[in-house]
Every structure is written in C-alpha cells, then in structure tokens.
Amino acid sequence: MNVIAAVDNHWAIGYQGSLLVRIPSDQKMFREMTEGKVIVMGRKTLETFPQKQPLKNRINIVLSRNAEFTVKGALVVHSIKELMEELKKYDEKDIFVVGGSSVYEQLLPCCDTAHITKIDYAYQADAYFPNLDAMPEWELTADSDEQTYFDLEYYFLKYQRKK
C-alpha cells in the first residue's frame, strides 16, 4: 500500500481541520497518482475535499467510528479489520492512504511506499504525519529538484520501507 501526504519541516499536515497550504503542482501530482485508484481516508479528511464530497475517478473508502455515517459516492467502513477485509479486493499498489493523522498512524505499518511533498516551512499545526526520517525501517529512495510556489520551496520525496 501507498501513503501520500504533504508535510512541513516538522511533519505537520494540518491545522484546525484544513491543509496547511494548497500548492497547485502538489494537488496535480496527487490527482495524477490517485486517479483510477483506491483512496482511504478518515471522515475529517473527506470534509476537507471540495463540497465535502468524495473525489471523482477514484474508489473512496472512508474510515469512521460513527456507525450512522454515510456519504454518497464512498464506501464507509467502521474498523481497521473491516477496512482490511475490503482492501483485499484491490491490488496493493493501487491503494493510497490519504489522511488524516490517526488514519496515517494506524495504516502506516501496512504501507511500503510513501509519497511525501516536503514543504520547507514550519506552519502552526495540530495534525502530524509520522516522521519517516526518524524511523529506521524507512529510507528515502527518490527526491525531486527544488520546486517553488511563490516564496515556498518544496520537494517531492519517495520513501520505501526497507525489505
């Protein structure tokens, strides 16, 4: 499975239910990597999407503890066990975990590839992605040249779980 996230210098991903920043080329890369694939998210992440709706041209799976929660255009599961059973239907390389914090933490052990947009800035934040640089089982295997968006510098990084 894959995980995909945009993080700042401290591996922060969000603040008060929103992304830290929206970078058009990062959003384009996200779209290109996930279209036609399976995306797994928590309910709060779904609520950050346009009109709080599932993303088009993808299989959207929402993990929510709320047994009453439903959303048109997405499959809602209520436990990691139920999620893992559902994910057996798909090729592992076509599954992308897209957030938020608790979903990343719960599913990172199941992932072997991480696509990280690393933004060279420190934002005020209250949601974080696990720091892969501090985890010996992960290694940086690819990085892009420096990208810029106005005065922000960022990089597209790929981490792989060591075999």
User: Residue 74's domain is classified under what CATH number?
Assistant: 3.40.430.10
| Amino acid at the residue 1 | M
Report residue 94's pLDDT band, with 50, 70 and 90 as the boundaries: very high
pTM: 0.96
Give the pLDDT score at 163. 86
Residues 48 and 41: their CA atoms lie apart, in Å, by 11
| Model confidence at 88: pLDDT above 90 | yes
For residue 107, give its domain range. Answer: 2-161
Q: 103-153: per-residue pLDDT in tens? A: 999 999 999 999 999 999 999 999 999 999 999 999 999 999 999 999 999
Number of domains present in the structure of the chain: 1
User: What residue has token string 């940086």?
Assistant: 140
